[in-house]
């Protein structure tokens, strides 16, 4: 099975957490699911460099990567994912969606109201438990 290593950002601004929604996709297990933004680590990049690049590309946003949060291992039907997740902040909550269909800034208590991608569920659970 194919293995993909990615990074994800839990971006906090004014005590709200950024949640982004995927658009329609070929596979139902990720189509229109909510997730934390991020993406693949490219050759020669550190995880933090990759995360800053991905957030800049996907959201036109500059972030500070403040702390490691957790690593999620998840097997989807066609690949296995290792997702290193970091707590991040931004000085300005303004963003431009380039790959996602929707975004929300939510309180921690509201995170469970969304239909999350399976790999992101453990992250939501960890945030809500703290």
Of 80 and 29, more confident: 80
CATH number reported for the structural domain that contains residue 124 in this entry: 3.90.79.10
Report CA torsion sign: 130, 58, 62, 82. Answer: positive
Number of domains in the chain: 1
Burial 6-43 (b: 16+ CB within 10 A, else e): bbbbbbbbeeebbbbbbeeeeeeebeebbbbbbbebee
Lowest mean per-residue pLDDT among 21-25, 64-68, 86-90: 21-25
Instruction: Give per-residue pLDDT as tens, 69-122.
Output: 999 999 988 889 999 999 999 999 999 999 999 999 999 999 999 999 999 999
pTM metric for this prediction? 0.95
Query: In terms of residue numbers, what domain contains 49?
Result: 2-129
């Amino acid at each position: 099975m194919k293995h993909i290593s990615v990074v994800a950002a839990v971006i906090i601004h004014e005590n709200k957490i950024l949640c982004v929604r995927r658009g329609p996709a070929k596979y139902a297990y990720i189509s229109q699911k909510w997730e934390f933004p991020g993406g693949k680590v490219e050759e020669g990049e550190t995880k933090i460099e990759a995360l800053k690049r991905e957030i800049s590309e996907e959201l036109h946003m500059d972030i500070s990567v403040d702390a490691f949060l957790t690593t999620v291992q998840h097997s989807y039907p066609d690949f296995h994912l290792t997702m290193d997740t970091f707590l991040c902040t931004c000085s300005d909550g303004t963003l431009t969606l380039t790959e996602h269909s929707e975004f929300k800034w939510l309180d921690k208590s509201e995170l469970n109201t969304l239909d999350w991608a399976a790999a992101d569920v453990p992250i939501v659970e960890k945030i809500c438990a703290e």
